[in-house]
A and B are shown apart, each in its own frame.
Chain A
Amino acid sequence: MNHQEELELQQDLEFLRGRFQELSQEIKLPHSLDPEVLCQRLENLEPEPEKVRSFPKWKGLLGVAACFAFVLGAVWMNGGFVREASSGMPEMASMNLESSSAMAAAQEPNMKMAPAQTNFEMTAEDSMEETAEEAVQEGEQLPSQMDRGLKSTQPEQIESYEQARQTLPYGSYLPEESASLTYESGYVTEMSQSALYVGENRELQVSVRLYDPAQDEPRLVNLEKPETYDLRLYTVPYADSVPAELAQVVEAPVFQAEEITTAVLEARLLPSQESGDEKTSQGSFSVQYGETLVDYYCVNLSPEEMNQIIVDTKAAIG
């Protein structure tokens, strides 16, 4: 933004602040949002304990393996552990220090692995499999086993894209980052995971959870009936043009992943009503991938791009 635009922005802000102040004075907090009323809902509820970054077992094992490899390597380099025992000791001491740093790096999720560990890096698939096994062993249930009624919905923020994609069980349903769309933020609960991707005037919100027949089946689309999902058949305001019996499915349709095509998406991603210089489009819909449901809300993504995201997701989850 140049100086002239900044000046204009300030002038617009000053002009509008006065107008909004006048209107805002009339807005009163409804009784239902009184602190006293809301606090009644806190009975029997305690804040969740502070989240401590977990230290996956495989990382610990990795660190131990790295130490072991160093020792073996040092022995080999020195021509034998026994022969070089006395002269090797100082080196081993320094190696232990190095290995400790490597383990510390492994414990810090945001840090890259120390060089000592690079030979032992697992592929993404390996690490995911191992963690999945651990999760089952430790009682964390996979999607099909989740007890939806009893799970906590406490959200935990996921700051990095890598962490979001590796979060079980839903991370693999998140889209890959691209040059024009990068991961911005996300949350995970034991029942769902959501993520926000942004780019220049673009946005993609993704929310993943278990498919719930009771809630989602009424929203399942029959592609042979475009009136259940094609917004182009209706006029704005939709509340007046969409028949009441179709309102639920038209508002939030659920498509089967294998049925999605660019043509289908063209029926959902329509130009917004916004009047401005830039052409914008937005739309929302859900996609069922087996037992999992993903809600998408996007701004300024073309049907082709959105279709590619879904194709990639299908490939990622196998």
Chain B
Amino acid sequence: MVIDTNAVKQARLGDKDSFAEVYRQISEDLYRVALYSLGNAHDAQDVVSETFMEAYKGIKNLRDENSFRPWIMRILSIRCKRKIGQYITGRNQLDIDDFLDLTEEGDGLEETSSRKLALIHALEGLTPQEREIVALAVVQGYTVRETAEILGAPQGTVSSKLHRTLKKLRSQLETAI
């Protein structure tokens, strides 16, 4: 969803409603990135709500309204990193219930669900850091340069990590098939 820069402008002036509107436009993206990175809804909710508060408090320091999206993603990324740092070495399990509603029934749902499950299991083979890169570059469609800026990492590092991670993901998915 495109961010309304006028609303960002108003939010910078302290308008709570405008901030809420801007957040509404990006909330699902934030949650998705957090969920893929952290693997469970509980922690994802924590970091998104912390990001929301931090962004609101710091919105006046945002210099360019057009940069709102990468700016808030960067805040989210830092919060995710902190959360990941608190895990015991490499939390790789994903809470499947937070990704899928397995109670649904219907034609073809079984096949779809098994495809989705295969993807979730493939994601479990990645570290949280790798999943964060995937969430930004694959799910959200950021370029390598944008992903690197959000993660605060060198472009070359992100590029090689992304390349390696996608190879790994793809081979795991193909094995599962």
Contact = CB atoms under 8 A, between A and B. Distances in A.
Interface in A195-250: 196, 198, 200-201, 203, 205, 207, 231, 236-239, 242, 250
A20 B139 CA distance: 6
A291 to B, nearest CB: 22
Contacts of B167: 8, 12
Given A1-B163, A9-B162, A26 B99 contact: yes
Interface string B116-150: 10011000011101100010011101000000000
Given A23-B116, A47-B14, A154-B58, A41 B85 contact: no
Contacts of B93: 237
Contacts, number: 187
A22 interface: yes
A39 B119 contact: no
Contact of A50 (B61, B92, B156, B157): B61
A17 B169 CA distance: 12
State the main secondary structure of chain B at its contact with A.
helix
A38 B169 contact: no
A270 B88 CA distance: 11
A45 B19 CA distance: 13
Nearest to B167: A12
Contacts of B126: 274
Interface residues of B, number: 73
Contacts of A237: 93
B31 A201 contact: no
A276 B20 contact: no
A205 B81 contact: yes
A185 B101 CA distance: 39
Contact of B28 (A17, A29, A184): A29
Contacts of A277: 164
Contact of B157 (A32, A34, A185, A201): A201
B69 interface: no
A187 interface: yes
A235 B138 CA distance: 32
Contact of B41 (A1, A15, A30): A30
Given A5-B163, A274-B90, 7 more contacts: A16-B134, A20-B119, A35-B23, A45-B56, A47-B56, A198-B153, A295-B85
Interface of B: 12, 14, 16, 19-21, 23-24, 27-28, 31-32, 35, 41, 45, 48-49, 52-54, 56-61, 78, 81-82, 84-90, 92-93, 99-101, 112, 115-116, 119-120, 125-127, 129-130, 134, 137-139, 141, 152-154, 156-157, 159-164, 166-170, 173
